[in-house]
Chains A and B, each alone.
Chain A
């Protein structure tokens, strides 16, 4: 328990320090990684801990992004309440999707979430007059501030991203310490047994999906606010697959795995694309090697080999 607290505090402390020490380029990268890792952490709640594979999380990311973006762009809502609208949009959408999609399991659940996300993507395109479709829209620099803090300033932006990331990390880490989190793992391991031990598994899966979708929405809203752009690409199927890859790489069902996976993948692409056009081939090769030799993901392997206490 204390080792786990030390690990999480250590990670946060390292990231606080990194904000001051990193050169501008990497500081910008890391800010982006922190927001995307928040998305991955949200995904991990459902996939890594509850064992439900969604292929449609981009719709929740998009709900947060468009909830905030449209409110600011067309409603003239200030950044902080607009962030609240983004969260509410993601929470509401995930509750609706949960009610319908959780009637299915396994492959059917994957297909249903994929279909919902595709509908969300098409909805964004359909209302192109407001959303500007694929082209997207840019949030005015002057509106991107909270309590007088200019979120377009790289250093402030970095710490804003770190704040969102820390909140998500604390929420998920804490969740996995309490009975609710243990029950999610129990559902992942053996749902029928869990039901027959007196747990309302359906209600737990519903809550897990809403928490997962809302965290994804928080990431989407943060992304729009911090990087100033809202576009349909972020609701496309590609963005539903990314968090799955990040979580698988970093270690599904570990608290910091999603961050490690996002960091690793981001820099893998960044580094390899620096010296060859065929960087996706190298990325693919590395992914194949990892899935062959580290099937539990980076932190999953660390847990298996060195640190069974890892949350």
Chain B
């Protein structure tokens, strides 16, 4: 069964079509990577999935329910979690405070456990704004993971992370696989190839190809459009 399905999802901004009739299906438990050159419409697409952006036309189905008209917070309550491309945390609150809000639960033990998962438990009392960038990134991912979502949407999670941090990130995401379905926008092809079960390639707002990593790698159109110059 698919967790998420978009049907003809389209977004037009005055004259520019950012996303053009995308049919995307994300199966339960898979890690689905969304790749494509800058401006291909990846963030706009997941924005429409999460309810941040209103589609011009088309539908979003989540767990068998048409959620196209639901506001973002209602979709999150139904089991989506979303991490921003540009780190978005509560700088003036402690890490615990951040997690308590993410958990919608003020039990500090649960918040600590969630921090422990990304190795930030020893900084629980610090202000989130005082963390190094990589740690802020991990905190944001921890906030998404802590919600125990059915579908975790990660918009370029490894952007700005060091190699060692990327390895930790990969391990964390791999540990979620099976229970949590993950929709991942990612530029780092090593991360994509290591984690993804399926890859969808977007170009100029439309799906160019979709399939297993090996198929995508072998696809000449994809190589032409994207892989060739992004990861030579």
Contacts and interface: CB of A to CB of B under 8 A. Distances in A.
B89 A196 contact: no
A123 interface: no
A182 B106 contact: yes
Interface in A187-229: 189-190, 192-201
B143 interface: yes
A182 B50 contact: no
B84 A193 contact: yes
Interface string B95-133: 001001110101000000000000000000000000000
Interface in A21-67: none
B76 A189 contact: no
Interface residues of B, number: 24
A196 B90 contact: no
A189 B74 CA distance: 21
Given A182-B106, A186-B101, A195 B89 contact: no
A179 B102 CA distance: 12
Chain A interface, DSSP helix/strand/loop, else mixed: helix
Contact of B73 (A182, A186, A190, A198): A198
A239 to B, nearest CB: 31
Interface residues of A, number: 17
Contacts of A183: 101
Contacts of B3: none
Interface in A233-281: none
B101 A196 contact: no
Contacts of A197: 76, 101-102, 104, 143, 147
Given A179-B106, A194-B101, A196-B52, A201 B88 contact: no
B229 interface: no
Interface string B49-73: 0101000000000000000000111
A23 to B, nearest CB: 43
A183 B97 CA distance: 11
B91 A198 contact: no
Contact of B100 (A182, A195, A201): A182
A4 to B, nearest CB: 15
Given A179-B106, A189-B93, A195 B73 contact: yes
Given A186-B90, A189-B93, A196 B50 contact: yes
A194 B76 CA distance: 11
A195 B72 contact: yes
B49 to A, nearest CB: 12
B141 to A, nearest CB: 13
A188 to B, nearest CB: 9
Contacts of A182: 97, 100-101, 106
14 contacts: A179-B104, A182-B97, A182-B101, A183-B101, A189-B91, A189-B93, A190-B88, A190-B89, A196-B72, A196-B76, A196-B82, A197-B76, A200-B71, A200-B73
Interface of B: 50, 52, 71-74, 76-77, 82, 84, 88-93, 97, 100-102, 104, 106, 143, 147
Interface of A: 179, 182-183, 185-186, 189-190, 192-201
